[in-house]
Amino acid sequence: MRNVWIIARREYKQFFISPVAYVVAFFFIILLGYFFYSGLVDAIAYSTYYQTSYVPGPEIVTGQWMVILLVFSMPALTMRSIAEETRMGTMELLLTAPVKDWELIVGKWLGAFLFMLSLLAITFVFPIVLNSLVNPGIDQGVLFSGYLGLVLMVASLVAIGIFISSLFNNQVVVFFISLAAVLILWFVLRPLGTSTSSSGNQIITYMNFVNHYINFFQGTIDLSDIVYYLSLTSIALFLGTVSIELRRWR
């Protein structure tokens, strides 16, 4: 366990000297700020037009744009992780140090996960601003469940990125395959036809990456959603460990 922490700490620090991480963080926050702003403007326009008092809630922060930005940031932040070690030959160093393969993968994952959590923490500015703008304040339950969902989603996103990074030596390849993997989990896994009751469609719906976030986003914390993201994270980390082990046997 100590090794996990040592590796995670270095990974985390490494993001702060990596230009890629800064560029990703910059665009992530700028774009999210823009969408937050336009969400506010839309809300004002909506309530003026319909003469109602529509009050925007946390969903204008934790909504679809947040998910899209996270999905696109992830590959850029995790592509380096293991692919770069392989390319530079430092993998030989880590694999001959007294570190277990799973400790290496989990450490890598934890470092990147913590960095993405730091990004998420910065976005917390937006709900605070929103809270001071609307009366009587925003629904804190929805805000909390939304962020819990985001944290779980980021955990599984990063795990997928780390797994893909352990498969290839080329960062560009890793970037596109990680992105493709998440987009497949998101868009391709849609029910076939209209019957939602068939067991096949139920499985497909359950496997969809973003479906499970919708509950959190709406303010419901469902155990099955938590289990989904945690299982996805564990499976990806397990596959990453297997991929490192297989690398030794090649």
Partner 1 sequence: MIEVEGLTKDYGPRRAINNLTFQAEPGEILGFLGPNGAGKTTTMRILSGYMPPTMGVARVAGFDVVDESLEVRKRVGYLPETVPLYPDMTVFDYLKYMADLRHIKNAEERVEDVLEIVHMDERANGYISNLSKGMRQRIGLAQALLHEPEVLILDEPTIGLDPAQIREVRKMIREIGRQRTVLLSTHILSEAQQICDRVLIINKGEIVVEDTPERLQAGLTGVQRVSVRVQGDGDGLEKLISEISGVGRVSTSHEGSVEVECAPGKDIRPIIARNLIKAGFDLLELKSIDLSLEDIFIQLTREEPEPPSTDDSEEEI
The residue ranges that bind partner 1 (CB under 8 A) are 2-3, 6-7, 10, 14, 17-18, 88-100, 248-250
Query: What's the min distance (Å) between Cβ of 122 and partner 1?
Result: 24
Cis peptide before 127 (omega within 30 of 0): no
Spatial distance between the Cα atoms of 1 and 150, rounded to a whole number of angstroms: 25
Decide: helix, strand or coil at residue 169.
coil
Residue number, 79 or 177, with CB nearest to partner 1: 79
Q: Which is nearer to partner 1, 68 or 99 (CB)?
A: 99
Residue 162: CB atoms within 10 A of its CB come to 33
- 170 contact partners, CB below 8 Å, separation of at least 6: 83, 87
The pair phi, psi for residue 43, each rounded to 5°, is -65, -40
Residue 167, H or E segment: none
**What span, in angstroms and rounded, lies between the C-alpha atoms of 98 and 111?**
19
> Least distance in Å: CB of 28 to partner 1?
22
| Nearest residue (CB) to partner 1, 148 versus 247 | 247
Q: Which is nearer to partner 1, 7 or 152 (CB)?
A: 7
- Tell me how far, at minimum, the Cβ of 117 lies from partner 1, in Å: 22
Between 10 and 190, CB nearer to partner 1: 10
Cα–Cα distance measured from residue 128 to residue 124, given in angstroms and rounded to the nearest whole number: 7
**Minimum CB distance to partner 1, residue 181 (Å):** 27
Handedness of CA 227, 232, 233, 235 (dihedral sign): positive
> CB 14 → partner 1: shortest distance, Å?
8
